Structure 1
């Protein structure tokens, strides 16, 4: 897809990978609409010249606010990037189910809702792209993050099925699978993190080429290990 002249909706574009995605897509000539829920980061993105709709996508009301804020404008590219981790480790204490529920909605339900709401618009475009940002942990989970891993695995399955449904249409469906990336969500890790700018660059490249999957960085090695032995990949990642 040629990005110049296209309009892209990128969720969670005020921080992390999303912030790099909106910068790089704009540099390629795309018009950007994004959303965020942190007032300071929303203000910073607006100061940088981006259109930002305030919306908390961990709730149905937030999804509806984002759709209302679009005001029916044409969207050529939908990037479901917004996501959040959730502490859910019984070895450390009882999990907070409210936190888990919010993560499940943001990571899985919100992309499904947005795709459903925007499908008529996307179908009306000469060409369109849906990008669902999952994770290498969608392939094999780690023991300490079962809720996050489950949501990303669910979104991976949804993406694969959606791609099959839309194979004879002008809509390209891409799954982007980042490794551990330098963001606020991974602040506790001290090494082995990919810069967000490089992760975004590889995702943008996949949009331009129309690739079905963007296996970013070390996820390529995980995919290889999984193709050779799913059980081995699971054993490795459960210790991660």
Structure 2
């Protein structure tokens, strides 16, 4: 993936990693369109960052994805990068059925949302000379956090789906990249001040450096996520799972 002269659509980019990537790509010389549910927040971000474009989208709503994708493709016909960053992370207690509503919401947002976005953009992106679909999974795709079981499961599914997507699109102009974050200091699970999470700016700086140094990379792995990503290969999966379980 080239780092400049792209037109990049990032739904779910009103905070955290999504907004951070949007601003980094904007400063690098790309046209950036961010999407989110709250019009007022989008307008605020646009005022504070002249040149950033915004659209309203609810990535948990299939009709919103379809209509907004059509709007983006019409208004920004040079769009050649889509980053499916939107997601939620909520705790669940699996001892009773009460977790089910949270699980269903998580699947709609974290799994069906990215799949629907990809479905809405793949044929369009295949018409561009150089295009990229970047999915966002998690280190928890490889070792789950038992406190957030459905979140971890959706991220494992995103990893698997991304691998298949890469194979099926190999003959097209679309590069498929998977961004695999560790715990990062964002509002996700209230980790803004967590000592166990990577500072957001450090994460973004490392991600951009990897993209620059390895433009053909399939996975973007900062150093902090490797203990999760390679736990199975290193024979440390059970140990890491126990650590994540608080044991």
Q: Same fold (TM over 0.5)?
A: yes
Alignment of 1:224-239 (within 5 A): 224-229=230-235, 230-239=237-246
Name 2:12's counterpart in structure 1: 12
Segment of structure 1 superposing worse, 30-39 or 19-28: 30-39
Aligned length: 239
Structure 2: any 5+ residue segments left out of the alignment?
Answer: none
Structure 1: any 5+ residue segments left out of the alignment?
Answer: none
Name 1:70's counterpart in structure 2: 72
8 Å CA contact 2:73, 2:79 repeated in 1? no
Alignment of 1:1-240 (within 5 A): 1-47=1-47, 48-49=49-50, 50-72=52-74, 73-90=77-94, 94-187=97-190, 190-208=194-212, 209-229=215-235, 230-239=237-246
Segment of structure 1 superposing worse, 120-129 or 162-171: 162-171
Distance in 2 (CA, whole Å) between partners of 1:95 and 1:87 is 11
Using the size of structure 2 for normalisation, the TM-score is: 0.88
CA root-mean-square deviation? 2.1
Using the size of structure 1 for normalisation, the TM-score is: 0.90
Distance in 2 (CA, whole Å) between partners of 1:65 and 1:200 is 30
Deviation at 1:96, TM superposition (A): 4.6
Segment of structure 1 superposing worse, 205-214 or 142-151: 205-214
Secondary structure of 1:198 counterpart: helix
8 Å CA contact 2:11, 2:57 repeated in 1? no
